[in-house]
Chain A
């Protein structure tokens, strides 16, 4: 499965693309693509959202969680720094 992710232009926060073309901070609410062609077509559309987001790209997802080669990076993007600071809390990756 694939999901489109990006950073929101105004504040840089991690967002995922929804079925209606909007963006959400919650990965489970994002549109999931089973085929590459559908994912690529949606990614091409997402490029028009340049007033909302920066740098959209596809990530691998399994059971609603990031997976694949970039699993650590994408899980940290999803949940926040794993041990970044006393101020951001601890998250198991």
Chain B
């Protein structure tokens, strides 16, 4: 894992001290709310329905056991004993007091953590494959590149006031578990014909009000040129992106308005000016950062199997192949049936931190599906780990299945929401469990957002639900056919909005219709594209 140097540590310490002064100035009246709001947002502090919300950055979703223990401590000491892992691999606390936030930030700084650039129109936390550095199908480990992007983008003076927020995702596997197609910039590590490693670059993807899949704007950017190329994209966007209309300010609108060819031409023009200059990454610097991210050693102890059927099911769905012999990747589901997606209690975080130390070389990951991952578990330890997870209520065997629902906070917490997401996700989760269909259905994604901002990623769900408000009543619009990873696709609206009970029934109806219609091994989206929307629509509105 990367460890802060003096520069990183000083930056975070100075920023925390500065925010303490700003909070003091707001409380004493030196700063008005209008003056203070942009400052608190730059430090990850939102004001939600019931309280302030603090969003803490988890750089590219990678946590040490010590960091997770600190997150547990913050939850216990300053919040209501839990935290919420988000679809951007971060954590949010729903109940901190403003007066406590400087102390929380001091505590986080002790373990190299902070809330910088978790809000505002800047480059946000870079996200990546939660199996990075572990996945059996990985071409190149994306973590060093995420770290280089983090260092380059932190407090970048030119890109601190962009037209809108800006999100970069990196994948090092062809399977793409980072949804690079729906990010402002998506980077895919690839090898060219000569065997050199570089980046395929996608730009102008996004969700929200106007969902779009990013076109590829370069098939190969050399490693040393990455920061120059990213700068070129951001310069074109910073100058030409719209600032007159909040809903048209994201880069996707610019790329769409200009057309991918014209946009690419402008980026290439700027890149030609920057190439070979001060932004060129020296090989020594690339190697220095890479040295922080090493492969775990192989483990040649024989795998021990647990005799139970429950273990076998968990092994089947929650354990993924590792690139190192004798090791495996373990997904810890934060989706108990009927639970709140992504919530973990302080006690659970402590348990996972302990298990990471005992079984995963002290490393934990956070996924955009709002689960946790122990990336480097020895096959020989799986049975013992499973027993420990089961005792902590963390052994739900549903990773990637229908009940592994992604869900934003919605109207239970969020100031921007139109409808609640959590209760409907809980009802759907229970209905799926009762239906007994989920293992037969296999991998299938359900995602729920409480408004069109789409933090719950509903556009890219196989079955998406969007909460809408109709004259004070909550309705849910169903979309079908979205895909987040790989060949990203935006789901299409099935028909008119459904009341909550009907929406829950509709999800089960769709799963049944899929099971009835699919041929062997066909995914949900494959069945949908073969038989079309009509059979699903008829079943839902029958």
Contact = CB atoms under 8 A, between A and B. Distances in A.
Interface of A: 7, 9-14, 50-51, 54-55, 68-73, 76-77, 80-88
Interface in B333-375: 339-340, 343, 345
A84 B472 contact: no
Interface string B38-57: 00000000011111100000
Nearest to A93: B420
B26, B339, B412, B473 — most chain A CB neighbours (10 Å): B412
B500 to A, nearest CB: 11
Contacts of B313: none
B343 A51 contact: no
Given A12-B52, A50-B29, A73-B411, A85 B47 contact: no
A84 B426 CA distance: 10
Interface in B288-306: none
B91 to A, nearest CB: 14
B529 to A, nearest CB: 35
Contacts of A72: 411, 419-420, 469, 472-474
Nearest to A10: B99
Given A14-B49, A50-B33, A81-B422, A9 B27 contact: yes
A68 B472 CA distance: 7
9 closest A-B pairs by CB: A11-B97, A81-B412, A12-B51, A12-B52, A83-B423, A84-B412, A87-B82, A69-B472, A85-B343
Contact of A86 (B51, B52, B98, B339): B339
B80 interface: yes
Contacts of B340: 83-86
Contacts of B80: 85, 87-88
Contacts of B29: 50-51
Contacts, number: 93
B471 to A, nearest CB: 7
Given A12-B47, A81-B412, 20 more contacts: A12-B51, A12-B97, A14-B49, A50-B29, A50-B33, A51-B29, A70-B472, A72-B420, A72-B469, A72-B474, A73-B417, A76-B420, A81-B413, A83-B420, A84-B340, A84-B413, A84-B422, A85-B343, A86-B343, A86-B345
Interface of B: 26-27, 29, 32-33, 47-52, 80-82, 84, 94, 97-99, 339-340, 343, 345, 409, 411-413, 417, 419-420, 422-423, 426, 469, 471-474
Nearest to A83: B423
Given A83-B340, A87-B81, A87-B345, A71 B50 contact: no
Nearest to A53: B33
Contacts of B32: 50
Given A86-B339, A87-B80, A88-B80, A81 B50 contact: yes
A7 B48 CA distance: 9
Contact of B27 (A14, A51, A76, A86): A51
A19 to B, nearest CB: 24
A69 B474 contact: no
A54 B46 CA distance: 12
Nearest to B29: A51
Given A55-B33, A83-B423, A14 B411 contact: no
Nearest to A91: B412
30 contacts: A7-B51, A10-B98, A10-B99, A11-B51, A11-B52, A11-B99, A12-B47, A12-B52, A14-B49, A51-B27, A51-B29, A55-B47, A68-B472, A69-B471, A69-B472, A72-B473, A72-B474, A73-B411, A80-B50, A81-B412, A82-B412, A82-B422, A82-B423, A83-B422, A83-B423, A84-B413, A86-B340, A86-B345, A87-B80, A87-B82
Contacts of A77: 49-50
Contacts of B343: 85-87
A58 B52 CA distance: 20
B340, B419, B471, B474 — most chain A CB neighbours (10 Å): B340
Contacts of B51: 7, 11-13
A85 B409 CA distance: 10
A70 B345 CA distance: 31
